[in-house]
């Protein structure tokens, strides 16, 4: 363990368990790590893990040979051993080695499920990016696999490990300073939907498009999709609701200690940007009902935010004693009739100078990822449930999928968490598992 990590743990009053005399962050027996999906967030997650623990990254996997080679070079320069990881084009071959303690999964969303289940079957603990799945049945199978094999699985909903958001929850929500919460608004007004319409082409030689597509429906290769643009297509994810709403919905569920929504409704579609090749909604509103508490999501990929002073992506929790606005960039708590209390995100660039020059790193998010990795490692040591345990990731993911299903069907959906089905709606239940493209087989719980 780095000295600064030890001092930071002590300052926070944390008690870190040991395994065979070694710190859970690696110690005398560094945990062996593999990464599946070496693109943007795969590297962001892995390099934050390296910062907080002397792990040994031994395996990398990607269907893009160019990204894979670049990642191997970066990892070799950043990990303590300076060793270059083994590289694989097929995650099944990597996991067949059965020599990994931790597997990180940062593929496009349609490739989260099968590698996660294979990783826990191979005996690894897993950090999987959000949303955990593209359909609800996948999430159910992932949760069942994690429990069956007794593996620790952390989901990349790192708002739960964001320092200023932890402070806001502890200082205002837990202390009752909001009073009775009657409504929550969550929202995103980033112009993040791809507006282009380039022609389909042949995939580049360094990309295995067949394997990249995997169980998803086969589309012709389009330069929008790879790298990083795949979120423009519903074949590979769940649109902006699956990408952005899940973070804020999960944050609110964590702050207010909410479980499953009882009913979900949504409306919207492609109302403005109709010339684009993208097939995700540019306008959508969804209401998640938690008993008497509505949590209302809105996104638009055009126009301005409803309030120019509001964070363009965040949550506003309304109570009868105060209002809390929270986002990745900070929080503002305004007591009824009082002055606002504000806190901005804290960067850690002096402690982690490599953040300053790392390509494409969201510097304001790096502290949250580090905190999420520390929590993951501590629970690997204790065999407990991490703050973003797979069950919590499944609830937030499935809730967002229900919103998209509601928009598609044109009606609200009532969820039965005990049965794992939508109540009294056979047509909707047929959408819980989408067809897999052969030869891939959809898992079952």
E strands, 106-201, are: 125-128, 153-155, 181-188
Query: How far, in Å, are 9, 286, 303 from residue 299 at the CA level?
Result: 38, 9, 11
Q: Is 121 within 8 Å of 145 (Cβ atoms)?
A: yes
> What is this structure's pTM?
0.93
Please choose, from the candidates 107, 112, 118, the residue with its C-alpha nearest in 3D space to the C-alpha of residue 42.
Answer: 107
CA distance 177 to 414: 32
**3-state SS track over 357-385:** CCCCCCCCCHHHHHHHHHHHHHHHHHCCC
- pLDDT per residue, tens digit, the chain (445 aa), is 333 443 344 333 343 433 333 344 444 689 999 999 999 999 999 999 999 999 999 999 999 999 999 999 999 999 999 999 999 999 999 999 999 999 999 999 999 999 999 999 999 999 999 999 999 999 999 999 999 999 999 999 999 999 999 999 999 999 999 999 999 999 999 999 999 999 999 999 999 999 999 999 999 999 999 999 999 999 999 999 999 999 999 999 999 999 999 999 999 999 999 999 999 999 999 999 999 999 999 999 999 988 877 889 999 999 999 999 999 999 999 999 999 999 999 999 999 999 999 999 999 999 999 999 999 999 999 999 999 999 999 999 999 999 999 999 999 999 999 999 999 999 999 999 999 999 999 999 9
Burial 202-224 (b: 16+ CB within 10 A, else e): ebeeebebeebbbbbeeeebbeb
Residues in the chain: 445
Question: Encoding tokens for residue 341?
Answer: 């209390």
170: Cβ contacts below 8 Å, ≥ 6 apart: none
Beta carbons within 10 angstroms of residue 269's beta carbon: 13
Paired residues of 188 in beta bridges: 299, 313
Judge contact between 147 and 126, C-beta under 8 A.
Answer: no
């Amino acid at each position: 363990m780095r000295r600064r990590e030890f001092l930071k743990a002590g300052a926070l009053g944390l008690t870190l368990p040991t395994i065979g005399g070694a710190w859970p962050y690696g110690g005398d027996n560094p945990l062996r790590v593999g990464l599946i999906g070496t693109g943007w967030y795969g590297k962001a997650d892995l390099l934050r893990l390296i910062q907080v623990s002397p792990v040994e990254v031994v395996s990398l996997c990607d269907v893009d040979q160019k990204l894979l080679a670049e990642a191997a070079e970066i990892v070799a320069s950043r990990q303590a051993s300076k060793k270059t990881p083994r590289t694989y084009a097929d995650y099944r071959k990597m996991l067949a080695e059965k020599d990994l303690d931790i597997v990180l999964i940062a593929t496009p969303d349609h490739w989260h499920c099968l590698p996660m289940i294979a990783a826990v079957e191979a005996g690894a603990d897993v950090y999987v990016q959000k949303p955990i799945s593209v359909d609800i049945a996948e999430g159910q199978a992932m949760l069942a696999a994690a429990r069956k094999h007794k593996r620790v699985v952390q989901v990349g909903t790192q708002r739960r490990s964001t320092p200023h958001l932890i402070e806001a929850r502890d200082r205002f929500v837990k202390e009752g300073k909001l009073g009775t919460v009657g409504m929550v608004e969550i929202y995103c007004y980033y112009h993040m939907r791809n507006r282009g319409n380039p022609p389909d082409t042949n995939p580049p030689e360094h990309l295995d498009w067949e394997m990249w597509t995997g169980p998803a429906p086969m589309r012709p290769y389009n330069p929008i999709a790879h790298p990083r643009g795949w979120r423009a297509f519903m074949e590979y994810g769940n649109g902006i609701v699956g990408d952005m709403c899940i973070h804020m919905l999960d944050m609110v569920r964590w702050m207010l200690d909410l479980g499953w929504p009882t009913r979900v409704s949504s409306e919207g579609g492609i109302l403005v940007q109709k010339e684009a090749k993208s097939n995700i909604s540019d306008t959508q509103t969804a209401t998640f009902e938690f008993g008497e508490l509505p949590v209302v999501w809105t996104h638009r990929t055009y126009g301005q935010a409803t309030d120019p002073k509001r964070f363009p992506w965040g949550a506003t929790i309304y109570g009868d004693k105060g209002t809390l606005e929270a986002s990745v960039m900070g929080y503002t708590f305004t007591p009824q009739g009082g002055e606002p209390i504000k806190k901005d995100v804290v960067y850690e660039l002096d402690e982690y100078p490599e953040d300053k020059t790392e390509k494409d790193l969201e510097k304001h998010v790096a502290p949250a990822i580090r905190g999420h990795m520390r929590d993951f490692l501590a629970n690997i040591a204790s065999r407990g449930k991490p703050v973003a345990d797979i069950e919590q990731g499944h609830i937030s993911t499935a809730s967002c999928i229900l919103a998209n299903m509601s928009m598609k069907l044109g009606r609200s959906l009532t969820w039965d968490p005990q049965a794992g089905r939508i109540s009294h709606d056979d047509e909707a239940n047929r959408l819980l598992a989408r067809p897999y493209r052969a030869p891939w087989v959809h898992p079952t719980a």
